[in-house]
């Protein structure tokens, strides 16, 4: 149930009727009483619930202060839940080679959640195991699922040993004394490519000498099959609810399919590919959701690189697989490497959010964006819109270089919406065909005070604020 409430200002339309005599010598008539027409008011969007939700990416690269992150998030969960967040994606929660400085992607011990001393620290960068368990409990109390970031292709931080299959020393020895203090899922060079059962390897991958061989039964047992496997331990012992698979190009799609067949849970993969057909093929093979990099790059191109909103006509994952498309405008990598190819500019960020929070797909909010005071309330309004009236079929009503008008049709009990993005320097107005007949309409994002009324056929003149967006829907009839 959406708990966030936003109150909109009272909007009135007044009709004053009066009369006067044409005969100067006639007695002055009593003035006619003023008649006020009923005043249309904003819908209470909390009356609608389309069953959607929003995921929070609850970290950025090199979060600070170190060792306090789990406690910081525990204080924020209730507010996020009230705003419409139903899942929280955490950073890699186990010990990495960089110890107390590690963001977790140099994974060393899959079962050290900040309770074992190794790599120079007991706590992870984010805190202790006890603090993590408390964060998961608090999240569940507020109806928020917790998504684990899982790195299952490359390992880091093992001991040095001679690897006969590479003819050189590699850091592939993981045991109680070498980067795996838990003693669970010990590994050596035989568990990585190449080995005695496979001479395949790809040196273009991250950490190629420690790229796990998922064809080995031993590796499969420890990652997802055994009762004390990584997957089952994370879910049954730690209480995680789902998975964000890191760098899925480092292993084959069947790995995720088998993982999900074994343990289930929400799943999204980082298949960093802007070509939508490749994403479509991957989600069909795995059964997992995928970050919609195709949409991310179209947003970047449309707003920043080409200044051309007709790019939104191109292929994107949400158009073909809306239930598998996890949309986003920023993440820890794109913000860390802010450049024109992997970055949506600050000035265009909210327009990009207006797109993903009104279109199909499962949107992700980036922590640093939400904590930006200039963005927070705007994002709260968009999340409320997303979780309530962003429903029904999509129809693009108009698009050119600097205008994009899109309709969600709604249904018998939900009015739907119309999104108007305008990248021009001046406000613009455009007549479009809505599904609403003889209704007053307003902008529920509150970026413009413009109010219009649809005619008996649904035609309406809407306004797109200068270099901004508006999200229109109907108003309540006055009583």
Give the domain CATH number at 329. 3.20.20.80
Asked if 189 and 137 sit in the same domain, the reply is yes
pLDDT of residue 342: 81
Choose one of 345, 360, 391: the last residue of a domain: 391
Identify the residue whose tokens are 């789990």: 70
Q: What is the C-alpha separation between 60 and 333, in angstroms, rounded?
A: 8
Angle between helices 69-83 and 129-141 (to 10 degrees): 10
Structural domain including 105 reads 47-391
CA dist 187 → 98, 110, 156, 198, 224 (Å): 19, 12, 11, 16, 16
380/425 same-domain check = no
Q: Does 320 share its domain with 454?
A: no
What per-residue confidence (pLDDT) applies to 4?
Answer: 43
Supply the CATH number for residue 421's domain: 2.60.40.1180
Which pLDDT score, from 0 to 100, does residue 37 have?
Answer: 59
What would the two tokens of residue 20 be? Answer: 């006067």
Into how many domains does the chain fold?
2
* Digitized pLDDT (tens) for each residue of the chain, 479 residues in all: 344 444 344 333 333 333 333 334 444 445 555 546 568 999 999 999 999 999 999 999 999 999 999 999 999 999 999 999 999 999 999 999 999 999 999 999 999 999 999 999 999 999 999 999 999 999 999 999 999 999 999 999 999 999 999 999 999 999 999 999 999 999 999 999 999 999 998 888 888 999 999 999 999 999 999 999 999 999 999 999 999 999 999 999 999 999 999 999 999 999 999 999 999 999 999 999 999 999 999 999 999 999 999 999 999 999 999 999 999 999 999 998 656 678 899 999 999 999 999 999 999 999 999 999 999 999 999 999 999 999 999 999 999 999 999 999 999 999 999 999 999 999 999 999 999 999 999 999 999 999 999 999 999 999 999 999 999 999 998 65
CA distance 212 to 187: 9
Distance of CA 14 to the CA centre of its chain: 43
> Both 266 and 407 in a single domain?
no
- Hey, which residues does 431 pair with through a beta bridge? 461
> What's this model's pTM, rounded to 2 decimal places?
0.91
- 38 within a domain of the structure (yes/no): no
Q: Last residue of some domain: 391, 420, 435?
A: 391
What are the φ and ψ backbone dihedral angles of 57, each rounded to 5 degrees? -80, 105
- State the pLDDT at residue 226: 98
Query: What phi, psi does 282 have (nearest 5°)?
Result: -65, -45
- In this structure, the answer to whether residues 84 and 165 fall within a common structural domain is yes
Residue 5 forms part of a structural domain: no
Same domain, 366 and 414: no
Checking DSSP bridges between strand 459-464 and strand 54-57, what pairing results, if any?
unpaired
Angle between the N-to-C axes of helices 276-286 and 253-263, in degrees from 0 to 180, rounded to the nearest 10: 40
pLDDT of 39: 83
Does residue 24 lie in a domain region? no
Whether 408 and 330 share a structural domain: no
pLDDT of residue 340: 62
DSSP state of 463: E
Give the per-residue pLDDT at 8.
44
Same domain, 303 and 399: no
Q: Is residue 8 part of a domain?
A: no
User: Rounded to 10 degrees, what is the CA torsion of 348, 349, 352, 358?
Assistant: -130
Residues 441, 443, 444, 448, CA torsion sign: negative
Do both 350 and 217 map to the same domain? yes
For residues 186 and 52, membership in a common domain is answered with yes
Residue 408, SS3 per DSSP:
strand
Does a structural domain hold residue 157? yes
* 387 and 439 share one domain: no
Whether residues 248 and 145 share a domain: the answer is yes
In the beta sheet, which residues pair with residue 149?
A: 244
Cα separation, 460 vs 454, in Å, equals 5
């Amino acid at each position: 149930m959406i708990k966030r409430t936003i109150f909109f200002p009272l909007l009135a339309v007044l009709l004053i009727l009066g009369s006067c005599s044409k005969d100067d010598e006639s007695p002055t008539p009593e003035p006619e009483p003023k008649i006020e027409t009923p005043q249309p008011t904003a819908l209470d969007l909390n009356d609608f619930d389309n069953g959607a939700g929003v995921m929070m990416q609850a970290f950025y690269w090199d979060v600070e202060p170190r060792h306090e992150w789990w406690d910081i998030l525990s204080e924020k969960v209730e507010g996020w839940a009230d705003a419409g967040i139903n899942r929280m994606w955490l950073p890699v929660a186990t010990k990495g080679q960089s110890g107390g400085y590690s963001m977790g992607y140099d994974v060393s011990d899959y079962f050290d959640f900040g309770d074992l001393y190794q790599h120079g620290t007991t706590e992870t960068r984010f805190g202790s195991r006890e603090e993590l368990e408390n964060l998961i409990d608090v999240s569940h109390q507020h109806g928020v699922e917790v998504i684990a970031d899982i790195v299952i292709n490359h390992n880091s931080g093992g001991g040095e040993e001679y690897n006969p299959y590479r003819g050189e020393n590699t850091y592939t020895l993981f045991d109680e004394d070498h980067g795996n203090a838990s003693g669970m899922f010990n590994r050596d060079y035989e568990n990585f490519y190449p080995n005695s059962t496979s001479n395949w390897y790809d040196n273009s991958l991250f950490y190629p000498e420690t790229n796990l061989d998922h064809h080995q039964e031993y590796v499969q047992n420890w990652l997802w099959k055994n009762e004390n496997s990584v997957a089952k331990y994370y879910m049954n012992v730690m209480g995680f609810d789902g998975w964000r698979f890191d760098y899925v190009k480092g292993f084959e799609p069947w790995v995720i399919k088998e993982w999900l067949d074994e343990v289930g849970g929400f799943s999204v993969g980082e298949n960093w590919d802007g070509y939508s057909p490749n994403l479509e093929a991957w989600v069909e093979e795995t059964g997992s959701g995928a970050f919609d990099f195709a949409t991310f790059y179209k947003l970047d191109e449309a707003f920043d690189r080409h200044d051309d909103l007709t790019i939104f006509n191109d292929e994107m994952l949400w158009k073909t697989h809306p239930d598998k498309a996890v949309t986003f405008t920023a993440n820890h990598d794109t913000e860390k490497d802010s450049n024109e190819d992997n970055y949506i500019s600050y000035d265009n960020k909210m327009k990009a959010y207006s797109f993903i929070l009104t279109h199909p797909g499962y949107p992700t909010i980036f922590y640093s964006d939400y904590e930006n005071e200039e963005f927070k309330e705007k994002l709260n309004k968009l999340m409320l819109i997303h979780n309530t009236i962003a429903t029904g079929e999509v129809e693009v009503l108009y698009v050119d270089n600097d205008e994009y008008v899109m309709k969600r049709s709604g249904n018998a009990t939900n009015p739907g919406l119309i999104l108007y993005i305008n990248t021009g320097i001046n406000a613009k107005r455009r007549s479009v065909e809505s599904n609403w007949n003889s209704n007053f309409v307003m902008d529920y994002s509150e970026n413009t005070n413009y109010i219009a009324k649809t005619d008996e056929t649904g035609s309406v003149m809407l306004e797109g604020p200068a270099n901004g967006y508006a999200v229109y829907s109907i108003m309540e009839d006055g009583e």
